[in-house]
Amino acid sequence: MTPRFIAARLASLLGLLLVLSLVLFVLQEISNTDAVAATLGPNASPEAIAAERARLGLDEPAVDRYLGYLAGLVTGDLGTSFRTKQPVTEDIGTYLPATLELVLFAFAVALVLAVLFALTSVLRWRGAGAFRGVLFLASTAPTFLLGIFSLVVFYLNLNWLPGSGRLSGSFEAGGPTGLLVLDGLLTGDPALSLDALEHLLLPGLALAVGPALAIGRVFRSSLLTTLEAEHVRTARAKGLTERRVVLRHVVRNSVNAALSMSGLQIGFMFAGVLVVESVFSWPGLGSYLGAGIPVSDFPAVAGVTFVLGAVYITANAVADILQGMADPRVAAS
Protein backbone atom coordinates (compact mmCIF):
# COMPACT_ATOMS: atom_id res chain seq x y z
CA MET A 1 0.00 0.00 0.00
CA THR A 2 1.51 3.31 -1.12
CA PRO A 3 1.54 6.61 0.80
CA ARG A 4 -0.26 8.10 -2.20
CA PHE A 5 -3.22 5.76 -1.62
CA ILE A 6 -3.45 6.74 2.06
CA ALA A 7 -3.11 10.44 1.21
CA ALA A 8 -5.92 10.17 -1.35
CA ARG A 9 -8.23 8.55 1.19
CA LEU A 10 -7.41 11.15 3.83
CA ALA A 11 -8.00 13.96 1.34
CA SER A 12 -11.37 12.45 0.47
CA LEU A 13 -12.20 12.25 4.18
CA LEU A 14 -11.40 15.93 4.72
CA GLY A 15 -13.40 16.91 1.64
CA LEU A 16 -16.49 15.06 2.85
CA LEU A 17 -16.20 16.61 6.30
CA LEU A 18 -16.03 20.02 4.65
CA VAL A 19 -19.20 19.28 2.67
CA LEU A 20 -20.93 18.08 5.85
CA SER A 21 -20.01 21.29 7.67
CA LEU A 22 -21.38 23.37 4.78
CA VAL A 23 -24.66 21.45 4.77
CA LEU A 24 -25.10 21.95 8.51
CA PHE A 25 -24.33 25.66 8.21
CA VAL A 26 -26.88 26.11 5.42
CA LEU A 27 -29.52 24.24 7.44
CA GLN A 28 -28.84 26.52 10.38
CA GLU A 29 -29.18 29.58 8.16
CA ILE A 30 -32.53 28.55 6.69
CA SER A 31 -34.01 27.22 9.94
CA ASN A 32 -36.45 29.30 11.98
CA THR A 33 -34.31 29.02 15.11
CA ASP A 34 -33.37 32.40 16.62
CA ALA A 35 -30.11 31.90 18.47
CA VAL A 36 -30.37 35.31 20.18
CA ALA A 37 -33.90 34.75 21.46
CA ALA A 38 -32.97 31.25 22.63
CA THR A 39 -29.98 32.65 24.51
CA LEU A 40 -31.46 35.82 26.02
CA GLY A 41 -35.11 34.94 26.24
CA PRO A 42 -38.16 36.72 24.74
CA ASN A 43 -38.02 39.73 27.11
CA ALA A 44 -34.50 40.92 26.24
CA SER A 45 -34.04 44.62 25.43
CA PRO A 46 -33.14 45.76 21.90
CA GLU A 47 -29.71 46.83 23.14
CA ALA A 48 -29.02 43.40 24.62
CA ILE A 49 -30.23 41.73 21.42
CA ALA A 50 -27.95 43.89 19.27
CA ALA A 51 -24.97 43.18 21.53
CA GLU A 52 -25.63 39.45 21.47
CA ARG A 53 -25.96 39.42 17.68
CA ALA A 54 -22.63 41.17 17.43
CA ARG A 55 -21.05 38.72 19.87
CA LEU A 56 -22.33 35.76 17.90
CA GLY A 57 -21.22 37.31 14.60
CA LEU A 58 -24.73 37.25 13.15
CA ASP A 59 -24.25 40.71 11.59
CA GLU A 60 -21.35 39.49 9.46
CA PRO A 61 -21.65 38.28 5.84
CA ALA A 62 -22.61 34.64 5.33
CA VAL A 63 -19.13 33.69 4.08
CA ASP A 64 -17.52 35.09 7.22
CA ARG A 65 -20.06 33.33 9.41
CA TYR A 66 -19.34 30.04 7.69
CA LEU A 67 -15.60 30.46 8.10
CA GLY A 68 -16.18 31.20 11.77
CA TYR A 69 -18.39 28.13 12.08
CA LEU A 70 -15.74 26.02 10.33
CA ALA A 71 -13.03 27.37 12.62
CA GLY A 72 -15.19 26.40 15.58
CA LEU A 73 -15.55 22.85 14.29
CA VAL A 74 -11.79 22.56 13.83
CA THR A 75 -11.15 23.73 17.39
CA GLY A 76 -13.95 21.61 18.86
CA ASP A 77 -16.40 24.47 19.41
CA LEU A 78 -19.85 23.20 18.43
CA GLY A 79 -21.72 26.11 19.98
CA THR A 80 -23.83 26.29 23.13
CA SER A 81 -26.93 24.21 23.71
CA PHE A 82 -30.12 26.26 24.01
CA ARG A 83 -31.54 23.66 26.40
CA THR A 84 -28.67 22.88 28.77
CA LYS A 85 -26.86 26.25 28.41
CA GLN A 86 -23.63 24.24 28.26
CA PRO A 87 -21.14 23.93 25.40
CA VAL A 88 -22.34 21.22 23.04
CA THR A 89 -18.85 19.71 23.03
CA GLU A 90 -19.09 19.14 26.79
CA ASP A 91 -22.58 17.66 26.49
CA ILE A 92 -21.46 15.30 23.73
CA GLY A 93 -18.42 14.34 25.80
CA THR A 94 -20.79 13.31 28.58
CA TYR A 95 -23.11 11.21 26.41
CA LEU A 96 -20.72 9.90 23.73
CA PRO A 97 -18.99 7.15 25.79
CA ALA A 98 -22.30 5.34 26.33
CA THR A 99 -23.10 5.43 22.62
CA LEU A 100 -19.56 4.49 21.65
CA GLU A 101 -19.48 1.50 23.98
CA LEU A 102 -22.82 0.24 22.68
CA VAL A 103 -21.80 0.58 19.03
CA LEU A 104 -18.39 -1.04 19.55
CA PHE A 105 -19.95 -3.95 21.39
CA ALA A 106 -22.66 -4.37 18.72
CA PHE A 107 -20.06 -4.17 15.94
CA ALA A 108 -17.94 -6.87 17.60
CA VAL A 109 -21.03 -9.08 17.92
CA ALA A 110 -21.96 -8.36 14.28
CA LEU A 111 -18.50 -9.40 13.08
CA VAL A 112 -18.64 -12.66 15.03
CA LEU A 113 -22.11 -13.47 13.70
CA ALA A 114 -21.08 -12.52 10.15
CA VAL A 115 -18.02 -14.76 10.19
CA LEU A 116 -20.06 -17.65 11.61
CA PHE A 117 -22.75 -17.09 8.97
CA ALA A 118 -20.22 -17.20 6.14
CA LEU A 119 -18.03 -20.06 7.40
CA THR A 120 -20.92 -22.31 8.44
CA SER A 121 -22.42 -21.84 4.98
CA VAL A 122 -19.21 -22.75 3.19
CA LEU A 123 -18.05 -25.56 5.48
CA ARG A 124 -21.58 -26.93 6.02
CA TRP A 125 -21.25 -27.35 9.77
CA ARG A 126 -23.98 -29.17 11.65
CA GLY A 127 -26.74 -26.78 12.67
CA ALA A 128 -25.63 -24.16 10.14
CA GLY A 129 -29.03 -24.06 8.46
CA ALA A 130 -30.86 -23.35 11.71
CA PHE A 131 -28.37 -20.63 12.66
CA ARG A 132 -28.69 -18.91 9.28
CA GLY A 133 -32.48 -19.19 9.41
CA VAL A 134 -32.66 -17.51 12.82
CA LEU A 135 -30.34 -14.73 11.66
CA PHE A 136 -32.39 -14.21 8.49
CA LEU A 137 -35.63 -14.09 10.45
CA ALA A 138 -34.29 -11.66 13.05
CA SER A 139 -32.85 -9.35 10.40
CA THR A 140 -36.24 -8.93 8.70
CA ALA A 141 -37.62 -7.12 11.76
CA PRO A 142 -37.01 -3.37 12.22
CA THR A 143 -34.39 -2.62 14.85
CA PHE A 144 -36.85 -1.02 17.26
CA LEU A 145 -39.24 -3.99 16.96
CA LEU A 146 -36.39 -6.42 17.58
CA GLY A 147 -35.45 -4.42 20.65
CA ILE A 148 -39.00 -4.43 22.01
CA PHE A 149 -39.31 -8.18 21.35
CA SER A 150 -36.08 -8.90 23.24
CA LEU A 151 -37.26 -6.73 26.12
CA VAL A 152 -40.56 -8.60 26.39
CA VAL A 153 -38.96 -12.04 26.19
CA PHE A 154 -35.64 -11.77 28.02
CA TYR A 155 -36.44 -8.99 30.50
CA LEU A 156 -40.17 -8.99 31.29
CA ASN A 157 -40.98 -12.70 30.91
CA LEU A 158 -37.73 -14.57 31.62
CA ASN A 159 -35.98 -11.86 33.67
CA TRP A 160 -32.61 -13.11 32.39
CA LEU A 161 -31.13 -9.74 31.46
CA PRO A 162 -31.61 -6.08 32.49
CA GLY A 163 -33.77 -4.00 30.19
CA SER A 164 -32.53 -0.44 30.63
CA GLY A 165 -29.59 1.71 31.66
CA ARG A 166 -25.88 0.91 31.72
CA LEU A 167 -25.47 -0.37 35.29
CA SER A 168 -27.48 -1.82 38.15
CA GLY A 169 -28.24 0.42 41.10
CA SER A 170 -25.53 -1.17 43.25
CA PHE A 171 -22.77 0.06 40.92
CA GLU A 172 -21.50 3.56 40.22
CA ALA A 173 -20.02 4.66 36.89
CA GLY A 174 -16.57 6.12 37.04
CA GLY A 175 -13.34 5.44 35.24
CA PRO A 176 -10.75 6.85 32.88
CA THR A 177 -12.47 6.01 29.57
CA GLY A 178 -16.23 6.16 30.22
CA LEU A 179 -16.49 2.69 28.64
CA LEU A 180 -17.77 0.77 31.63
CA VAL A 181 -16.68 -2.72 30.61
CA LEU A 182 -13.14 -1.47 30.03
CA ASP A 183 -13.15 0.76 33.12
CA GLY A 184 -14.07 -2.18 35.31
CA LEU A 185 -11.06 -4.10 34.01
CA LEU A 186 -8.72 -1.13 34.36
CA THR A 187 -9.80 -0.41 37.93
CA GLY A 188 -9.71 -4.04 39.01
CA ASP A 189 -13.48 -4.39 39.37
CA PRO A 190 -14.58 -7.35 37.20
CA ALA A 191 -18.05 -7.28 38.77
CA LEU A 192 -18.56 -3.83 37.26
CA SER A 193 -17.45 -5.09 33.85
CA LEU A 194 -19.77 -8.09 34.08
CA ASP A 195 -22.75 -5.95 35.10
CA ALA A 196 -22.06 -3.47 32.28
CA LEU A 197 -21.75 -6.37 29.82
CA GLU A 198 -25.11 -7.76 30.91
CA HIS A 199 -26.71 -4.38 30.25
CA LEU A 200 -25.08 -4.29 26.80
CA LEU A 201 -26.38 -7.66 25.63
CA LEU A 202 -29.99 -6.84 24.68
CA PRO A 203 -29.42 -3.46 22.97
CA GLY A 204 -26.18 -4.73 21.43
CA LEU A 205 -27.82 -7.77 19.87
CA ALA A 206 -30.75 -5.71 18.59
CA LEU A 207 -28.30 -3.35 16.91
CA ALA A 208 -25.98 -6.09 15.59
CA VAL A 209 -28.36 -8.45 13.78
CA GLY A 210 -28.96 -6.41 10.62
CA PRO A 211 -25.29 -5.51 10.01
CA ALA A 212 -24.25 -9.09 10.80
CA LEU A 213 -26.39 -10.45 7.98
CA ALA A 214 -25.25 -7.76 5.53
CA ILE A 215 -21.55 -8.39 6.23
CA GLY A 216 -22.02 -12.16 6.41
CA ARG A 217 -23.75 -12.41 3.03
CA VAL A 218 -21.02 -10.38 1.33
CA PHE A 219 -18.30 -12.45 3.02
CA ARG A 220 -20.03 -15.70 2.09
CA SER A 221 -20.30 -14.65 -1.55
CA SER A 222 -16.60 -13.76 -1.63
CA LEU A 223 -15.67 -17.08 -0.05
CA LEU A 224 -17.67 -19.04 -2.61
CA THR A 225 -16.05 -17.11 -5.47
CA THR A 226 -12.54 -17.61 -4.12
CA LEU A 227 -13.17 -21.34 -3.64
CA GLU A 228 -13.29 -21.65 -7.43
CA ALA A 229 -9.85 -20.06 -7.89
CA GLU A 230 -6.92 -22.00 -9.32
CA HIS A 231 -4.75 -21.81 -6.20
CA VAL A 232 -7.58 -23.30 -4.14
CA ARG A 233 -7.92 -26.24 -6.49
CA THR A 234 -4.16 -26.76 -6.21
CA ALA A 235 -4.38 -26.75 -2.41
CA ARG A 236 -7.12 -29.36 -2.56
CA ALA A 237 -5.05 -31.47 -4.92
CA LYS A 238 -2.30 -31.52 -2.29
CA GLY A 239 -4.69 -33.30 0.06
CA LEU A 240 -5.53 -30.44 2.44
CA THR A 241 -8.83 -30.69 4.29
CA GLU A 242 -11.63 -28.34 3.27
CA ARG A 243 -11.45 -26.52 6.60
CA ARG A 244 -7.71 -25.93 6.20
CA VAL A 245 -8.16 -24.79 2.61
CA VAL A 246 -10.77 -22.25 3.65
CA LEU A 247 -8.93 -20.91 6.68
CA ARG A 248 -5.45 -20.76 5.11
CA HIS A 249 -6.04 -20.04 1.44
CA VAL A 250 -9.53 -18.56 1.04
CA VAL A 251 -10.36 -16.25 3.94
CA ARG A 252 -7.63 -13.62 3.40
CA ASN A 253 -8.41 -13.36 -0.31
CA SER A 254 -12.11 -12.89 0.43
CA VAL A 255 -12.14 -10.15 3.08
CA ASN A 256 -12.01 -7.08 0.82
CA ALA A 257 -15.71 -6.82 0.08
CA ALA A 258 -16.54 -7.68 3.69
CA LEU A 259 -14.24 -4.92 4.95
CA SER A 260 -15.96 -2.41 2.69
CA MET A 261 -19.38 -3.53 3.89
CA SER A 262 -18.18 -3.37 7.51
CA GLY A 263 -17.22 0.27 7.04
CA LEU A 264 -20.70 1.05 5.76
CA GLN A 265 -22.42 -0.92 8.50
CA ILE A 266 -20.59 0.68 11.41
CA GLY A 267 -21.71 4.02 10.03
CA PHE A 268 -25.29 2.77 9.82
CA MET A 269 -24.97 1.53 13.40
CA PHE A 270 -24.28 5.03 14.65
CA ALA A 271 -27.52 6.10 12.98
CA GLY A 272 -29.55 3.12 14.21
CA VAL A 273 -28.18 3.38 17.73
CA LEU A 274 -30.34 6.46 18.34
CA VAL A 275 -33.47 4.31 18.00
CA VAL A 276 -32.05 1.51 20.13
CA GLU A 277 -31.13 3.96 22.88
CA SER A 278 -34.69 5.23 23.08
CA VAL A 279 -36.06 1.68 23.38
CA PHE A 280 -33.65 0.65 26.14
CA SER A 281 -33.42 4.03 27.92
CA TRP A 282 -29.71 4.07 27.13
CA PRO A 283 -28.08 7.32 28.32
CA GLY A 284 -26.23 8.11 25.10
CA LEU A 285 -26.37 10.60 22.25
CA GLY A 286 -29.85 9.37 21.35
CA SER A 287 -31.32 10.58 24.62
CA TYR A 288 -29.45 13.88 24.27
CA LEU A 289 -30.71 14.36 20.73
CA GLY A 290 -34.23 13.28 21.66
CA ALA A 291 -34.38 15.94 24.36
CA GLY A 292 -33.05 18.64 22.05
CA ILE A 293 -35.30 18.18 19.01
CA PRO A 294 -38.65 19.13 20.66
CA VAL A 295 -37.21 22.45 21.90
CA SER A 296 -35.45 23.28 18.60
CA ASP A 297 -32.00 23.03 20.16
CA PHE A 298 -30.24 23.38 16.81
CA PRO A 299 -26.65 23.58 18.13
CA ALA A 300 -27.16 20.26 19.91
CA VAL A 301 -28.80 18.64 16.88
CA ALA A 302 -26.11 19.96 14.51
CA GLY A 303 -23.34 18.93 16.90
CA VAL A 304 -24.58 15.36 17.21
CA THR A 305 -25.15 15.20 13.45
CA PHE A 306 -21.62 16.38 12.74
CA VAL A 307 -20.08 13.91 15.18
CA LEU A 308 -22.08 10.96 13.81
CA GLY A 309 -21.38 12.04 10.23
CA ALA A 310 -17.66 12.34 10.99
CA VAL A 311 -17.66 8.85 12.51
CA TYR A 312 -19.41 7.43 9.44
CA ILE A 313 -16.99 9.08 7.01
CA THR A 314 -13.95 8.09 9.06
CA ALA A 315 -15.12 4.49 9.37
CA ASN A 316 -15.39 4.20 5.58
CA ALA A 317 -11.94 5.75 5.10
CA VAL A 318 -10.44 3.28 7.57
CA ALA A 319 -12.21 0.41 5.78
CA ASP A 320 -10.70 1.55 2.46
CA ILE A 321 -7.22 1.66 3.99
CA LEU A 322 -7.68 -1.80 5.52
CA GLN A 323 -8.77 -3.07 2.11
CA GLY A 324 -5.54 -1.71 0.67
CA MET A 325 -3.55 -3.48 3.38
CA ALA A 326 -5.34 -6.77 2.78
CA ASP A 327 -5.06 -6.60 -1.02
CA PRO A 328 -2.33 -4.41 -2.58
CA ARG A 329 -4.25 -4.51 -5.87
CA VAL A 330 -6.86 -2.19 -4.34
CA ALA A 331 -4.25 0.42 -3.49
CA ALA A 332 -2.72 0.15 -6.94
CA SER A 333 -6.01 0.73 -8.73
| Per-residue pLDDT reduced to its tens digit, 240-249 | 666 676 666 6
| Per-residue pLDDT reduced to its tens digit, 129-170 | 788 888 888 888 888 888 888 889 888 888 888 888 888 876
Straight-line distance from the first to the last Cα atom of the chain, in angstroms, rounded to the nearest whole number? 11
164-to-108, 174, 181, 196, 292 alpha-carbon distances in Å: 21, 18, 16, 11, 21
Average pLDDT over residues 289-295: 81
Say which residue, 100 or 122, is predicted with more confidence. Answer: 100
CA of residue 78 relative to chain centroid, distance: 20
**pLDDT-derived band of residue 202, with 50, 70 and 90 as boundaries?**
very high
Rounded-to-integer distance, Cα 76 and Cα 80, Å: 12
186: number of Cβ within 10 Å:
13
Average pLDDT over residues 307-323: 80
For residue 87, the cross-strand partners are: 80
Rounded-to-integer distance, Cα 300 and Cα 92, Å: 8
Lowest mean per-residue pLDDT among 199-208, 291-300, 302-311: 291-300
pLDDT at 111: 92
pLDDT at 104: 92
200-to-140, 234, 287 alpha-carbon distances in Å: 22, 45, 16
pLDDT at 179: 87
Rounded-to-integer distance, Cα 61 and Cα 295, Å: 27
> Does CATH place domain 89-332 in 3.30.565.10?
no
Average pLDDT over residues 297-326: 81
269, with CB counted inside 10 A (0-12, 13-18, 19+), is: buried
Helices 255-279 and 298-326 meet at what angle, rounded to 10?
160
Identify the sign of the CA torsion 157, 152, 179, 294. negative
pLDDT at 79: 83
Say yes or no to pLDDT of 66 above 70.
Answer: yes
Average pLDDT over residues 304-320: 83
- Tell me if 97 sits within 8 A of 79, measured CB to CB: no
Domain ranges of the chain: 3-74, 89-332
Average pLDDT over residues 103-114: 92
**pLDDT-derived band of residue 320, with 50, 70 and 90 as boundaries?**
confident
